[in-house]
Amino acid sequence: MCKDKKSKGRALMVLFNIAMILVLLGCGGGGGGGGGGATYILTVNVQGSGNVNPASGSYTEGTQVAFTATAVAGWRFHHWTGDLSGSTNPVTVVISSDMIFTAVFDQPKWVFTTGDAVGSTPAIDNVSGTIYIGSKDHKVYALNASTGTEMWEFETGDWVLSSPAISLDKSVVYVGSYDNKIYALNTSPSDPFDPNTIKKWEYTTSDQVKSSPAVARDEVDDTDYVYVGSNDANVYALNAATGVPLKWSVGTGGLVFSSPAIANGKVYVGSSSNKVYAFSERLGGSTGFYSTSGAVFSSPTIGADGTVYIGSNDQKVYALDGTNIFNKKWDFVTGDEVWSKPAIGPDGTVYVGSNDDKVYALDGVTGAEKWEFITGGDVMSNPAVANGTVYIGSNDYKVYALNAATGAKKWEFATDGEVAGGPAVGADGTIYVGSGDGKVYALTP
């Protein structure tokens, strides 16, 4: 009898233990390792052409899930909507409730195809709504900024890597070509199909012109002049209306890929002679130079206080005293050559790319690094800063939009070629940029 009672007691204990195990298994079951919480449904939608990984599914409370949005060719992931917001990609979600969100993909406003790679930075006339850009197909194009429709084209004798500059009265655009010439082209020709009505004048140097012109008025003689460099080692000051007579030309001792910048009566420019020069705007005489340890193919940018910011192939970014170019305020060392032209934000931050694949944000006063962003290729592109965003291209074929304060990526757009030319931003925020795939793109902010 006692044995029967003991046997029954043991059986009851076994049944109790089994029941407890089943209860514990039920509480701890489910995927995701969330610690035994409730299960929630995440619904992932797509607007446009792209995909999100992982897709919709069920997840246990507390689970962390990283969602990655990937655009198809010709599209761009732009932002999240619904229960997610912003443009962070990938984005990590901690599951706490049912969620419904959408990955929004978009296409360029328009795409214009040239006959070869586009390394020129566009010039924008916001008054007429026209952009001007050059191509390796030897041509300069005038395009409707809203639609991308070609208004006219002008064929030179070689590559056009120079970036156009628009006259002060908006009637002429100036640009250099590898055919050794500088061209003045009418922005509103009487016959857009006749090159003779497009061309106003041309000036021939002794070598290729990659340098981009700068236009400024001499207040003493009340005349506009075009300042531009050539690979014949000279910088030229040309009458903007006629091209001749030549105001002055001055030698630098090396190739002038660099594009002049003009401020406080001086013309600043770099040279492959390793120097950054300051020339008299009126007379062309040298007022001094600063010697770096490498060729200077970067172009100068002038700060509000007259500081000259420029890169060098010695892997450095320099801040030089504009009143006395001999004086260096600071330098910042990157990991490779600096061809990119610095850009200055509203707060004085200096943004610049380097061939070490990075984009840098530097304190304009001290040169201290604020942030850096790593791309997948050389960054020879000139950055553009607008509305709290830095836009820049990379030789990894992409255009990037970066938060100007933090360097966080807002979005990227993939082209089919190196993006060595700089973006330009229109009055409505549209970003215009060329690519080595032979196309010009108009992208929304």
19-54 confidence digits (pLDDT tens): 444 444 444 333 344 445 799 999 999 999 999 999
Q: Using an 8 Å Cβ cutoff, are 81 and 57 in contact?
A: no
Longest dimension (CA), the chain: 128
pLDDT tens track for 47-71: 999 999 999 999 999 999 999 999 9
Q: Which of 164, 75, 134, 109 is nearest to 430 (CA)?
A: 109
Residue 138 falls in which region: left (phi positive, over 0), alpha (psi -120 to 50) or beta: left
Query: If you search the block for the tokens 């792209």, which residue do you land on?
Result: 50
Mean pLDDT in residue range 385-390: 98
DSSP 96-156: -S-EEEEEEEE--SEEEE-SS---SPPEEETTTTEEEEE-TTSEEEEEETTT--EEEEEE-
DSSP 213: P
What is the predicted pLDDT for the residue at 27? Answer: 40
Per-residue pLDDT band for 10 (boundaries 50, 70, 90) equals: low
Q: Using an 8 Å Cβ cutoff, are 212 and 164 in contact?
A: yes
What is the predicted pLDDT for the residue at 317? Answer: 98
19-23, 252-256, 282-286, 421-425: segment of lowest average pLDDT: 19-23
Mean pLDDT in residue range 138-154: 98
Per-residue pLDDT band for 160 (boundaries 50, 70, 90) equals: very high
Q: Which of 197, 181, 200 is nearest to 189 (CA)?
A: 197
Edge-first strand listing for the sheet containing 384-386: 384-386, 389-393, 398-403, 409-414
Distance in angstroms (rounded) separating the CA atoms of residues 204 and 201 = 10
Q: Using an 8 Å Cβ cutoff, are 292 and 326 in contact?
A: no
pLDDT tens track for 321-359: 999 999 999 999 999 999 999 999 999 999 999 999 999
Mean pLDDT in residue range 369-398: 98
Percent of the chain whose predicted confidence (pLDDT) is above 70: 92
How many residues are there in the chain? Answer: 445
Averaged pLDDT of the chain: 93
Q: Which residues pair with 343 in a beta bridge?
A: 351
What is the predicted pLDDT for the residue at 78? Answer: 96
Contacts of 344 by beta carbon, 8 Å cutoff, 6+ apart? 301, 303, 304, 309, 350, 351, 364, 385
- Determine how many CB atoms are found less than 10 A away from the CB of residue 25: 9
pTM greater than the 0.75 cutoff: yes
Contacts of 133 by beta carbon, 8 Å cutoff, 6+ apart? 118, 120, 121, 122, 123, 140, 141, 143, 163, 164, 432, 434, 440
Q: Is pLDDT of 81 > 70?
A: yes
Provide Rg for the chain, Cα atoms.
Answer: 29
What is the predicted pLDDT for the residue at 37? Answer: 78
Contacts of 331 by beta carbon, 8 Å cutoff, 6+ apart? 316, 317, 318, 319, 367
Q: Is pLDDT of 203 > 50?
A: yes
Per-position b or e across 210-246, b if 16+ CB within 10 A of its CB? bbbbbbbeeeeeeebbbbbbbbbbbbbbbbbbebeee
Mean pLDDT in residue range 127-138: 97
What is the predicted pLDDT for the residue at 223? Answer: 95
DSSP 9-49: HHHHHHHHHHHHHHHHHHHH-SSS--SS--EEEEEEEEESS
Per-residue pLDDT band for 13 (boundaries 50, 70, 90) equals: low
Q: Which of 214, 343, 334, 338 is nearest to 267 (CA)?
A: 214
